Structure 1
Amino acid sequence: DRDENWIDELEIDTEELKDIWFIVDHFHSLHGLAHTYLTFEFNDGTCLSFSFEARRRVKHRYHPWDGLWRNYELYLLVALESDMTGLRTNARGNKDYMFRAITPPEKDKHMLLRMAEKANNLAQNPEWYHSLLTTCNTSIVRMVNRVTPGRVPFLWRNFLPGYTPRAALKLGLIEDWGGLEATLEKARIDVVAQQWDGKGSYSEMLRRHLPASTIQEQQ
């Protein structure tokens, strides 16, 4: 059982945005079936996650087949990282990876603003979720290309999120921590997350085990 604790308002300053993280959540035994979302980290330690999801009815489990036939609405869930990622790493025990994104100067702030606008737009103008065309990952791709046109090309891996790290690394969308295999090894967070005692900062603990940023040096 988990207690619900809602935050009605959270003030953030785009000028204090430190990093964007790309998370790949392997919730299924089939490697390609995974969930992806973004986390925005701020200088004060706040980590806010944005996740495109299929809105399910009560007691209705998600199934890709159902998602092909307008059974789910698309919505953008916004939550603290400790809740969104903690649910996956600790409560569900999924295999999760967390990569630091590389963004052109100022584009990170634009991405945050576009995500916030999208959340508001979906609340006013609902859209259908589609298991191939409008998913967690394809929605992120659209947002990235809206901020930086043409940044992510059409790739089959866009439709199988579990394989996105290879493409993201090749395209320079995430930091290279020593090649694909080394990057995957260093990016894995579920084993570390499961050591969290619930008392300290979940987000801070994760980042102690991740490589330091090289983005500022690259810029």
Structure 2
Amino acid sequence: MTAAGGASPVRGGLRLAGAGHLLLSTGVFVIALFGVGALWFQAAPLLRWPLLALWCAASVAGMRAPWSRRARGLAWGPWVIAVLALAAWWSTLRPSHDRLWADDVARLLQVESDGRHVVLHNVRNFDWRSETDYTARWETREYDLETLASADLILSYWMGPHIAHTLVSFGFDDGRQLVFSLEIRKERHESFSAVGGFFRQYETVLVAADENDIVRTRTNARGEDVYLYRLGIGRPALRAMFLGYLDEAEALRGTPQFYNTLTSNCTTIVFDLARTIAPALPLDYRLLLSGHLAEYAGEVGGLAPGYSYAELQRAGRITDRARAFEGSADGFPRAIRTGVPGIDGERTR
């Protein structure tokens, strides 16, 4: 019997139990997906398929366990053992500096600084004719931080309009530019995988490079679409941001770290450094959809003032100018900035 207008307590209890079972099964499924990715990207090739088969069998048993009262104990056992084994194995994976690296990430940036003057060893200045045809060149460069004059946000689109690689280029009074880029540190046999970046497939490297190298390889050699935006920040903030990159380089040099597609990537480092200057900067979905990062920067007052985002984006597209440039490397920074709002000599409002 049920009360008039009320629901059966038994039926309500069954619904609640069913919801709990569904939640447990969903949790097991999510863990199962992580395990499949971890084994696919990290297990030894000869063991990959056998381990995947065992993991999937244990996961299926775990997903069925909440729904089977009689077999629940038998099903949970193999799944718990599989999860503990996966966690123990995962904890043994360690980042390293000692691998056979691809040429463009073979060296780590090394910093010497007395607070005002910095000497940077292993600044990359490759001459790229194609992605596989290049002349490798690593340089030592000196900078006076008192002459640090500007910073530009550079977004290089390689996978549609929503995902871009984020770089920051610092300019000095003498016209030189130095670009910082947090990247995966590929081994010679590896290529980039955004999914693999979730599963400790790559270490992290902070590259300091000449614009004629790191920008032209993206516009010309890789065929990416590149945009440049002048950041509207003063010299004290510029210096703090520049030194933040140097601190990150030294930290990575001392302790290798894994790259993570979501939490430790080319965009998160820019946001983290910006937050040291402006702690109130809000979190935003565009930190994940990095192709829209410039729009976010404009909304929080970080780009050249007096322009709509559409104007900044249109004038900031440097792809065609970079591909058309045929002068000396020293002239490349000025050529790609022609017409970019906020650059000295351009119109302001």
Q: TM-score, normalised by structure 2?
A: 0.58
> Residues 53-202 of structure 1 correspond to what in structure 2 (within 5 A)?
53-150=183-280, 152-176=281-305, 178-199=307-328, 201-202=331-332
Q: Deviations over 1:167-215 (max 9, x none)?
A: 111111111462111110000001111111143511121123323447x
Q: Which runs of 5+ in 2 are unaligned?
A: 1-132
Matches within 5 A, 1:200-219: 201-213=331-343
Higher-Rg member (1/2): 2
Q: Could you tell me how far apart the structure 2 residues matched to 1:183 and 1:113 are?
A: 27
Report Cα offsets for 1:56-88 as digits up to 9, x if no partner: 221311111101111111111111111111111
1:19 — aligned with what?
Answer: 150
Aligned mates of 2:336, 2:206 — CA distance in 1: 24
Residues 153 and 228, structure 2, Cα contact 8 Å, conserved in 1:
yes
Q: Identity of paired residues, percent?
A: 27
- What residue in structure 2 maps to residue 38 of structure 1? 168
Distance (Å, rounded) in 1 between the aligned partners of 2:285 and 2:175: 35
Measure the CA separation in 2 of the matches of 1:166 and 1:204: 24
Give the 3-state SS of the residue equivalent to 1:181 in structure 2: helix
Q: List gaps (5 residues or longer) in structure 1.
A: none
One-letter code of the match for 1:128?
F
* AA in 2 matched with 1:162: G
Name the CA distance, whole Å, in 2 between partners of 1:176 and 1:66: 39
State how far apart, in whole Å, the 1-side matches of 2:295 and 2:325 are: 29
Q: CA deviation at 1:127?
A: 1.7
Q: Taking structure 1 as the reference length, what is the TM-score of the superposition?
A: 0.91
Confirm whether residue 6 of structure 1 aligns to residue 138 of structure 2: yes
1:107-142: per-residue Cα shift (whole Å, max 9, x none)? 111111111121111111112211111110011111
RMSD: 1.7
